Structure 1
Amino acid sequence: MSVLIITTIDLSNSLTQRPHHMIRYLKNKGIKVTVLSASFENSGEIRDITEENVRYITISLRFLDTFDPRSMYIPYSRIDNEQYDVCMAVGPWAGMIAIILKRQRKINKLVYEDVDYFPAFFDYDIIYERVRQMEKTCLTWADIVVCVSEELVELRRYQTNTPVYFIPNGVDLGVFKEKKAEESESTLDDGIGVDAVDLIYSGALEDWAGVEFVIRGMRELIKILPDIKLAVLGKGSKGNMLFQLVKDLSLENSVRFYGTVKYDELPRYFKNARIGIAVLKPVELIRYAFPLKVIEYMAAGLPVIATDIGDMGRILKKNGAGIAINYSQAEFVEAACALLNDKELYKKCSENARKTSKKYDWNCLFDEEFDIIDI
């Protein structure tokens, strides 16, 4: 079996996402894989590297160029004439490239990996509509559509007659394995103790991520719990603004930024925290999302405070793995205080979180997905 994965995610510079996990899964299975991805350094460089059974072809260009699928297809076609059993196209930009390959009979089966509602990333109506039409075209040409959230499944089944399946995002349980009691008492290399971080956020620092909301909530939490601490992991376009906000609110002793943390290092930070935070803005983008951070927190045994929207709200309420709230400062403060002050509630949510995460093992999820693809 041979698999072509196409994504416009900059795999080398982005946070770890679903394509990273799929590549690792297929690599461990010994399946022949070619990965066509983008780099937004705009150097014009084409990198072609093979590591064991995985070939990485990376094309450097501007993001704007990805709206024309030929910008990646033409340089790719010059160096790879292989025919593939299946193409996994992650998102609409990748899907449009895959359609060209399908027309040329270079792929036998096209799977559209529906990982987000991509139009909602854009504020301008003309771009929103362009991306929406790209998605619809991908749905039409795909042989199978795999959605990461139940909200996306409902939307896509309304939009297309192509078979639509639900395979959520997951977690590498081997990385987030439960620590022994003596291990959990260790500290990070930089000296942060186990109890030094009460709340932790991991992910993109973008407007929709709600990190500003959480930082402003810290000002209220400190009035009740003076020693409370927040750790922020990740990067994004709002990073500088958030740094300044912490200074403006005089929260330098309560909020600490760590920048990008490698996936395999996340458990070292999570085990020194008490609650995982995913209070994302209740906007269209988040309604259809399935944030990886929620399951990663759970796998580390962290109760989660998250916005009651989409799949993440349903998971928390169904499994008792944390507290789902409205996008309200008062509810955020109340939820944090409840978990930090009520030991029985905290223990129950922590146990439920770890138990729930076992349903989302990447290996099991991808086993199911490739059984559906049936190649």
Structure 2
Amino acid sequence: MNFLMLTTLDVLGRRNNREHHVIAAARQRFDQVTVVFRKRGAADRRFGAMMTTDRMAEIKGNVTYIGINPLLNPPDGAVRARTQSEDKNGGHLRRAVGHAMDSAAILRDKMTIRALHDAGLSVTDSAPLVTMALGPWAARAAERLRSSGHIGPYVYVDRDYEPGFMTSPLRRAWAMAQERRAVRQADLTLCIGRRLAGRFENIRGSTIKLSPTGVDSGSIPQRSRKTPCAKLLFVGEVAPYSGIEEAIAALPAIATHQADAVLRVIGPVQDGYRAYLEHLADVAGVRDRIFIMGSRDRSEVFQELDQAGIGLAVFQPHPLRIHAAPLKVLEYMAAGLPVLALEGSEAGDIVTGAGIGLVCACTQAGIMDGVLRLLGDSAGYIAFSLAGPPAAAARDWAKVMRDEFALIDSLYQNGRGTG
């Protein structure tokens, strides 16, 4: 049998996403793997280019990558740059334009569905296929392929709260409807977290299973912390929702109790927002305690994980973040780093369920109190550190993929055909 993946993630332009681990597992299980994905819009992609479509193919061993550039595919991040202000001041007209662009992006979603479907047609006439669609637009493409008889059952992977990426109410409603349709139509739905899965409990006839986010636990250096340490670390995208502003505000009070308190931030950040965070640190009088490092190689991330004392995953309670199972939490866990996460979120559920840290509100007072509680309880701090690596091993990608493909095998072996 062969394997077909449909996804909106640029798998050749990104790394260490769920898709990459599915591909690695699939290439060991199937004769041929085909990945149809949407390419990111190039930074210099102008309006004229957005009115055209193109397709590329690249073969690596038994994996064929087909990248599609649908109509109306704007430069990567162009809409978000217009809907998020780099600071709290001004930008109302700019954001209004961005919201209008986001509403119009429904057309882009539809063009994406069509392009994924059309590219999928080129590979569905070979051997029987196991088909996986990641995200609602890919699921709509798979639904069309099944309706036309080109594939049999397909698996929908719900790996994000898709409406959380949208700013316009119209497109959010559209995304919610597409997610529910994907769950209703798919032969099997795999949700990466319990909060995502809980949204679809009332959809009759659906088959929903949990397949959590994993981590390469063996690749991350593990260290048991024997003494509480006030070196705070945030790993991930640095954006207004990330909780960095609140952590900066909390740092002066933390430093009055812990003289060595610092905050190190590693991950992609726009220049304007970096400048804004540094300004906040200046105003708070903690500029010498804040280090915003931007993107770094994985080796440097591992070094930061090893040297830190507390991993932060306390972001603003936006629906997108509440439903996410952040890789940062799992990497903190694998490194033996006690974690402070947002209460009432999937990340917080992971932290409390695994016994690797505490939860708090994303406020100056919440973060201050959470950090000081972690540092003030040596026995608890050490226990959180010791619990991390075995909890991460239980969520290693190899195990997650074995369990996931066992569910998929059951779908295709229970008399439901393969197309």
Return the TM-score normalized by structure 2: 0.78
- Cα pair distance change 1:268/1:372, threshold 3 Å: same
Residue in 2 aligned with 1:53? Answer: 62
Given that residues 239 and 273 in structure 2 are in contact (C-alpha distance below 8 angstroms), is that contact kept between their aligned partners in structure 1? no
CA 1:246–1:219 in structure 2 vs 1: closer, same or farther (change >3 Å)?
farther
Counterparts of residues 199-218 of structure 1 (less than 5 Å): 199-218=232-251
What is the correspondence of 1:214-363 to structure 2 with a 5 Å cutoff? 214-235=247-268, 240-250=272-282, 251-263=286-298, 266-363=301-398
CA contact (8 A) 2:243 2:362 kept: no
1:262 CA drift (Å): 4.7
Query: Residues 86 and 307 of structure 1: is their aligned pair in 2 closer, same or farther, counting only changes over 3 Å?
Result: same
In 1, the alpha carbon distance for the partners of 2:127 and 2:221 equals 39
Distance in 2 between the 1:235 and 1:99 partners? 35
Match of 1:149?
A: 193
Q: Which residue of 2 aligns with 1:19?
A: 19
CA–CA distance in 2 between the matches of 1:139 and 1:157? Answer: 10
CA-CA distance at 1:115 after TM superposition: 0.8
Find out whether 1:66 has 2:101 as its counterpart: no
Gap change, CA 1:99 and 1:261, over 3 Å in 2:
farther
Aligned-partner Cα distance in 1 for 2:184–2:142: 12
> Whose radius of gyration is greater, 1 or 2?
2
Instruction: Tell me what 2:102 maps to.
Output: none
Could you report, residue by residue, the CA deviation over 1:32-72 in whole angstroms, capped at 9, with x for unpaired residues? 32111122225655331111121111123415423331134
Over 3 Å counting, the alpha-carbon distance change for 1:38 and 1:227 in structure 2 is same
Deviation at 1:286, TM superposition (A): 2.8
Residue 192 of structure 1 is matched in structure 2 by none
Match of 2:8 in 1: 8
Q: Verify the 8 A CA contact 1:199 1:273 in the aligned structure 2.
A: yes
Give the aligned CA root-mean-square deviation in angstroms.
2.7
Residues in 1 aligned to 2:278 and 2:58: alpha-carbon distance in whole angstroms: 42
Rounded Cα–Cα distance in structure 2 between residues aligned with 1:154 and 1:11? 28
Q: In the TM superposition, what is the alpha-carbon distance from 1:298 to its structure 2 partner? A: 0.1
Q: Separation in 2 of the partners of 1:152 and 1:262?
A: 31
Deviations 1:201-228 (Å, cap 9, x if unpaired)?
1122233332322233234333433432
Asked if the contact 1:57–1:76 (Cα under 8 Å) also holds between the matched residues in 2, the reply is no
Q: 1:151 to 1:142 in 2, by over 3 A?
A: same
Amino acid at match of 1:149: G
Q: 1:139: which partner in 2?
A: 183
Write the distance in 2 (CA, Å) between the matches of 1:104 and 1:88.
Answer: 17
Q: Where does residue 189 of structure 1 map in the other structure?
A: none
Q: Using the TM superposition, give the Cα deviation of residue 264 of structure 1 relative to its aligned residue in structure 2, in angstroms.
A: 6.4
What is the CA-CA distance between 1:265 and the residue it aligns to?
5.5
The answer on whether the counterparts of 2:352 and 2:358 sit within 8 Å (CA) in structure 1 is yes
Could you tell me which residue of structure 1 aligns to residue 149 of structure 2?
A: 105
SS, match of residue 373 in structure 2: helix
1:205·1:239 contact (CA, 8 Å) conserved in 2? no
Q: CA deviation at 1:92?
A: 0.8
Unaligned stretches of 5+ in structure 2? 75-104, 413-419
Q: Which deviates the most, 131-140 or 218-227?
A: 218-227
Corresponding residue for residue 188 of structure 1: none
Alignment partners' CA distance in 2, 1:37 and 1:157: 29
Per-residue Cα deviation, 1:331-367 (whole angstroms, up to 9, x for no partner): 2112222333543222111011222212211111111
Distance in 2, matches of 1:165 and 1:141, equals 15
Q: Which amino acid aligns with 1:60?
A: N
Query: Contact 1:276/1:302 (CA < 8 Å) preserved in 2?
Result: yes
| Conservation of the 8 A alpha-carbon contact between 1:18 and 1:169 | yes
Conserved 8 A contact 2:37-2:66? yes
Return the letter of the residue paired with 1:46. R
Contact 1:15 1:260 in 2 (8 A): no
Cα distance in 2 between the residues matched to 1:255 and 1:18: 31
Cα gap change, 1:79 to 1:152, in 2 (>3 Å): closer
Could you tell me the TM-score, scaled by structure 1's length? Answer: 0.86
How high is the sequence identity, in percent, across the aligned residues? 27
